[in-house]
């Protein structure tokens, strides 16, 4: 029984979910109440996770559940960004009439699923967490059910995601069949010899994971889902599943399959290069900001994977740093998007930003910072994210990956510049509303200052991340 103190966060969030469901059933129109309660419970959850973070590696439940530095850090940024996602979206879901009790509850359940994914040390536990988060995400994507695009995106996501889950399961069963265990550490021990079955298993599992992280060539769902979902859900999609999937990626590559890095390294390098290039090129022609950010996130995932491809602690740490900075940039970007509101309508086309800088200097300045940071221009945070990744990549003498990646940033810079051009150089349009809820303003302020001032003390994240060692 004493084990339960270590999974207190998971237990707490499960109990909260059930409790909120009960409240929702017995109390009419309690959408806002539950929304706020969920937010508070996320804050408590964060505190609980931080409380555990001083511990060493702990195996639980017959070694199927693992709490270590990696899982703690990932859960922390997961829940932390979850809080900000909720804060920024609160006004939005009221305006577009989505303020139902299911919305926060689904978000909490998918966060629970992600936490289980992050901590899993067993194929079955991992799959359980994955399905919990995916099922919640299917519903969230189509949450705006009267909107054609939203239902379409939910369905699309469901069909493709189910397919990838199938592939993943197939991979898991192959791995299990040839390595005789579902436990990650056991698989590692059993798969030392040259083992074709497990190699196939790796390929299928990587395909499934690449789908979750929306890496090329398994990215097809991303643009439609990003565009179709309600913006608050898009923000959720852009950050949280990526954190979970990346951490599972790290876990799979460096625990059960650590001995087979010759086999998977090429795959990761290919996925990474393809994502960087495709994300950069395909975003050029986009007209919708949400769609554009989908392509941009594809290319960002390419960079995060580039760190993983190095088979070094430095690389893993750089990927984790990358995703941490990436999530702040996305928070800032979407906060700006939530501010494009006029008469209860939200705008998300690039053209809607035309001449924004004249009437909304502060908002445009934040967007400017965020976009240059996404493009990876120093001295903003986005540059350091890329810098760490390339530091790790070049350490392993993977010059091809480094050069392709950096050239892709130049291509990507073009479409970020195009948005800046529209904001700053083009003739102005109608004004947007200037009154926003406090949560949104705080999120935007914190994230912009983080991006802008990152260079003053860049070692902050690296010091925390440097505790995470897998090899």
Partner 1 sequence: MNFPILSSLILLPTIGALFILFTKSSSGKYQSSKYVALFISLANFLLSLYLWYVFDKNSVDFQFVENREWLSGFINYKVGIDGISILFVILTTFITPICIISVNATITNRLKDFLIAILIMETFMIGVFCSLDLVVFYLFFEAGLIPMFLIIGIWGGERRVYSAFKFFLYTLLGSVLMLVAIISIYWITGTTDVEKLYELGINAEYQNLLWLAFFSSFAVKTPMWPVHTWLPDAHVEAPTVGSVLLAAILLKMAGYGFIRFSLGLFPIASENFTMLVYILSLIAIIYTSLVALMQEDMKKLIAYSSVAHMGFVTLGIFTMTQQGIEGSIFQMISHGLVSAALFLSVGVIYERHHTRLINKYGGLVSIMPRYAIVFMVFTLGALGLPGTTGFIGEFLILMGAFEKNILVAMIASLGVILGAAYMLWLFKRVVFGEINNQELKSMKDLKTFEIITLSALVIPILFFGFYPEPLMNSIEASVENTLNMYNFDLINNLVSKD
The CB-of-236 to partner 1 minimum distance in angstroms stands at 30
Which range touches partner 1 (CB under 8 A), out of 227-235, 240-248, 277-285, 454-462? Answer: 454-462
Closest to partner 1 by CB, 8 vs 362, is: 362
The reply to whether 462 sits near partner 1 by the rule CB under 8 A is yes
The CB-of-410 to partner 1 minimum distance in angstroms stands at 5
Torsion angles phi and psi, residue 60, rounded to 5 = -130, 160
Question: Alpha-carbon distance 407 to 427, whole Å?
Answer: 31
Return the residue matching tokens 């207190």.
8
Return the residue matching tokens 């050239």.
407
CA angle 219, 225, 230 (to 5 degrees): 150
The reply to whether 351 sits near partner 1 by the rule CB under 8 A is no
**In sequence order, which residues have a C-beta less than 8 Å from that of residue 399 and are 6 or more positions away?**
none
- Within 10 angstroms of residue 264's Cβ, the number of other Cβ atoms is 22
Among 21, 50, 169, 417, the residue binding partner 1 under the rule CB under 8 A is 417
Question: Alpha-carbon distance 169 to 165, whole Å?
Answer: 6
Which range touches partner 1 (CB under 8 A), out of 63-71, 262-270, 319-327, 410-418? Answer: 410-418
Among 324, 409, 443, 448, the residue binding partner 1 under the rule CB under 8 A is 409
Which range touches partner 1 (CB under 8 A), out of 129-137, 224-232, 321-329, 397-405? Answer: 397-405
Question: Alpha-carbon distance 398 to 416, whole Å?
Answer: 27
Torsion angle, CA of 21/22/27/29, rounded to 10 degrees?
Answer: 0
The reply to whether 413 sits near partner 1 by the rule CB under 8 A is yes
Closest to partner 1 by CB, 285 vs 361, is: 361
The CB-of-417 to partner 1 minimum distance in angstroms stands at 6
- Which is it for the CA torsion 336, 338, 343, 349, positive or negative? positive
The reply to whether 395 sits near partner 1 by the rule CB under 8 A is yes
The CA–CA distances, whole Å, from 255 to 63, 66, 250 equal 13, 12, 8
- Within 10 angstroms of residue 62's Cβ, the number of other Cβ atoms is 9
> What is the distance in angstroms between the CA of the first residue and the CA of the last residue of the chain?
31
The reply to whether 346 sits near partner 1 by the rule CB under 8 A is no
The reply to whether 400 sits near partner 1 by the rule CB under 8 A is no
The CB-of-138 to partner 1 minimum distance in angstroms stands at 39
The CB-of-316 to partner 1 minimum distance in angstroms stands at 17
Among 402, 451, 452, 468, the residue binding partner 1 under the rule CB under 8 A is 402
The reply to whether 281 sits near partner 1 by the rule CB under 8 A is no
- Within 10 angstroms of residue 177's Cβ, the number of other Cβ atoms is 12
Among 23, 267, 394, 446, the residue binding partner 1 under the rule CB under 8 A is 394
Q: Which of 38, 222, 188, 208 is nearest to 130 (CA)?
A: 208
The reply to whether 379 sits near partner 1 by the rule CB under 8 A is yes
Residues binding partner 1 (CB under 8 A) = 361, 372, 377-379, 383, 387, 390-391, 394-395, 399, 402-403, 406-407, 409-410, 413-414, 417, 420-421, 424-425, 455, 458-459, 462-463, 466
């Amino acid at each position: 029984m004493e084990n339960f103190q270590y999974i207190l966060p998971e237990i707490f969030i499960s109990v909260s979910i059930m409790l909120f469901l009960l409240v929702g059933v017995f109390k009419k129109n309690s959408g806002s109440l539950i929304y706020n309660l969920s937010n508070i419970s996320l804050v408590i959850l964060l505190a609980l996770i931080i409380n555990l973070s001083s511990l060493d590696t702990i195996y639980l439940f017959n070694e199927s559940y693992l709490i270590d530095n990696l899982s703690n850090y990932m859960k922390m940024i997961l829940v932390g960004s979850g809080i900000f996602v909720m804060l920024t979206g609160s006004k939005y879901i009221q305006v577009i009439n989505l303020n139902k009790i299911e919305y926060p509850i689904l978000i909490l359940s998918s966060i629970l699923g992600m936490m289980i994914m992050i901590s899993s040390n067993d194929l079955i536990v991992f799959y359980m967490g994955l399905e919990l988060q995916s099922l919640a995400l299917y519903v969230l994507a189509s949450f705006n059910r009267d909107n054609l695009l939203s239902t379409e995106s939910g369905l699309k996501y469901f069909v493709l995601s189910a397919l990838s889950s199938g592939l993943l399961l197939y991979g898991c069963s192959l791995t299990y069949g040839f390595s005789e265990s579902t436990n990650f550490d056991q698989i590692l021990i059993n798969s030392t010899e040259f083992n074709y079955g497990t190699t196939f298993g790796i390929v299928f599992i990587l395909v499934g994971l690449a789908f979750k992280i929306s890496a090329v060539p398994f990215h097809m769902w991303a643009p439609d889902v990003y565009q179709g979902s309600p913006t608050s859900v898009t923000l959720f999609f852009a950050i949280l599943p990526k954190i979970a999937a990346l951490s599972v990626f790290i876990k799979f590559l460096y625990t059960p399959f650590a001995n087979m890095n010759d086999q998977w390294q090429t795959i990761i390098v290919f996925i990474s290069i393809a994502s960087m290039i495709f994300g950069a090129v395909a975003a050029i022609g986009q007209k919708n900001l949400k769609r554009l950010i989908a392509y941009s996130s594809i290319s960002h995932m390419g960079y995060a994977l580039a760190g993983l491809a190095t088979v070094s602690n430095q690389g893993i740490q750089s990927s984790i740093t990358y995703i941490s900075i990436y999530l702040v940039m996305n928070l800032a970007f979407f906060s700006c998007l939530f501010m494009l509101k006029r008469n209860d309508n939200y705008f998300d086309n690039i053209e809607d930003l035309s001449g924004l800088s004249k009437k909304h200097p502060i908002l445009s300045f934040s967007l400017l910072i965020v976009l240059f940071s996404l493009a990876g221009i120093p001295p903003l945070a986005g540059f350091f994210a890329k810098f760490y990744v390339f530091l790790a990549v070049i350490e392993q003498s993977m010059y091809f990956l480094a050069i392709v990646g950096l050239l892709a940033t130049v291509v990507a810079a073009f479409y970020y510049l195009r948005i800046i051009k529209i904001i700053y150089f083009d003739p102005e349009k109608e004004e947007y509303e200037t009154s926003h809820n406090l949560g949104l303003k705080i999120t935007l302020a914190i994230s912009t200052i983080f991006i802008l001032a990152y260079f003053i003390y860049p070692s902050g994240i690296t010091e925390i991340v440097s505790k995470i060692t897998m090899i």
